[in-house]
Structure 1
Amino acid sequence: MVEEHKRIDFLVEELNSDDWKVREDAAELLGEVGEPDAVQPLINALEDEDWHVREAAALSLGIFEDEKSVEPLIRLMDDEKANVRYGAAISLSMIGDERAVDVLQKATEDENSVVRKVAIVALKEVKNRI
């Protein structure tokens, strides 16, 4: 358990790296480790300047199914990058919170066809869970 916390602390620290790739990898690994202490740092990473990091953080948050991630992920559905909107939609479907219905409905008309397809599936998943 202590070893796990050291790993989490290290990865959270890596979210502050000057290198976007290090931050992206840290966000991905925090999701893989699955420790609930990673949720807030991942939510904070949704505001990273680099879209790769925002996408990785968004995708990792779905693993936790933590409802405090829902509102930040909903806001991310307006991101300029389709990859980030895709990641947010995937995680919103994994969390299955009814607050996501409106934004996923809107995303079914996204300019990006992949985001549209994911939003359709995510919307069905959320509706099945509520």
Structure 2
Amino acid sequence: MKILIFVSLLFSFFFCQFSYSQNQGGMSDKRKAVKYIAELKSHSSKEKIQAAEELARLDDRGAVRPLIGLLEDKDFNVRQTVAYALGELGDKQAAKPLLARMEKENPNGKVIFIRALGKVGDSSVVDSLLPLLKHNNSSVVFETVQALGRFDDPVVSEAFLSSLKSQDEYGCMAIVNVLTNNRIKKAEKAFLDLTKDKRRPSCALVAVDGLGWVGGEEAVGALIMILKKNDSSSFKNRALRSLGRLRAREAFDAIHPFLRHKEAVIRRSAVEALVGLGDHRAIPMIKGLQGDPSPEVQKTVQYALRQFGVKQESSIQKDE
């Protein structure tokens, strides 16, 4: 009897513990947020940093004001973590305090504040961020470009285009990528100029790629000239891909010779470009690559033929 009572009590204990933990689970995020907000007042920098990180993860908007209060903390790492957390929470009331503190930070410190401002997404900070495109620190410029790129604002696009010539390669590539991702058609002329830029070859290469998204008739002609005259395989590869994206049928005669190129990556891009053009004259040429030594090219050929609606024999039919 005593054993039975003991077992019953033991079962009841574990059942209660389980029920308590389940209830805790239902309330845990809110309770944790309250706990971590309280820990922001700690004298320990380590505790404040951990609390800010957890509040960012919990996505509790009630933490915004307490976090703003720590932007002037004397500890650099605390300020950085708080800026990160405010960026993750994305509440616009944090924009002005973040901007005010960012202006006091050294270049390394500015970076995470700029990133946070971009994530918060308050357009009122645009005018204050634009001058940072001329900053002498590459990381500051890069983060500024990323942050400004989040705003659908013609003023930002114009500022990007105006600053392209003065940027180092790092900043130039960042701007080209953002203009491309945002599909800014006005960037075509600037990208065309960049394709000839000998000082910043990596940016020139990114511009060739960008023309496939923002280019028009003029871009098609320039890309064909790259295929004909540029000795770089990287440039040829990007030009092929861009012509395919532009569906430039007038480029057919310039593209199909690259199906026989010595480099597999070029042959593959040529196949993809011809698929983009949608010109059925390419079908027999692409079929000629079915025995290509590169498995990747063979996969692309199979994909291309499917896109053109060509029925392919199964392995069983081939054996027969």
Q: When the two structures are superposed, what TM-score results if normalisation uses the length of structure 1?
A: 0.86
Q: Following the alignment from structure 1 to structure 2, what is the Cα–Cα distance between the partners of residues 17 and 8?
A: 15
Q: CA deviation at 1:52?
A: 0.7
Out of 26, 46, 50, the position equivalent to 1:25 is 50
Pairwise CA RMSD? 2.0
1:1-130 correspondence runs (5 A): 2-127=27-152
The 1:62/1:107 distance shift into structure 2, 3 A limit, reads same
Q: CA deviation at 1:111?
A: 4.2
Structure with greater Cα Rg: 2
Gaps of 5+ in 2: 1-25, 157-320
Q: Following the alignment from structure 2 to structure 1, what is the Cα–Cα distance between the partners of residues 80 and 32?
A: 21
The residue identity in structure 1 corresponding to 2:96 is E
3-state SS of the aligned residue for 1:80?
coil
Q: Following the alignment from structure 2 to structure 1, what is the Cα–Cα distance between the partners of residues 117 and 132?
A: 12
Q: Following the alignment from structure 1 to structure 2, what is the Cα–Cα distance between the partners of residues 31 and 14?
A: 14
3-state SS of the aligned residue for 1:126?
coil
Q: CA deviation at 1:83?
A: 4.1
Gaps of 5+ in 1: none
Contact 1:28 1:60 (8 Å CA) reproduced = yes
More relative contact order, 1 or 2 (CA 8 Å, 6+ apart): 1
How many residues are paired up? 129
Contact 1:90 1:118 (8 Å CA) reproduced = yes
Q: CA deviation at 1:2?
A: 3.7
3-state SS of the aligned residue for 1:8?
helix
Q: Deviations over 1:73-115 (max 9, x none)?
A: 1112212333432121111111221111122112223343212
Q: Following the alignment from structure 1 to structure 2, what is the Cα–Cα distance between the partners of residues 84 and 15?
A: 20
The residue identity in structure 2 corresponding to 1:46 is L
Q: Percent identity?
A: 30
> Which aligned runs of 4 or more in structure 1 are off by greater than 4 angstroms?
none
Segment of structure 1 superposing worse, 68-77 or 12-21: 12-21
Q: Following the alignment from structure 1 to structure 2, what is the Cα–Cα distance between the partners of residues 94 and 11?
A: 22
Q: Following the alignment from structure 1 to structure 2, what is the Cα–Cα distance between the partners of residues 34 and 8?
A: 9
Q: CA deviation at 1:64?
A: 2.1
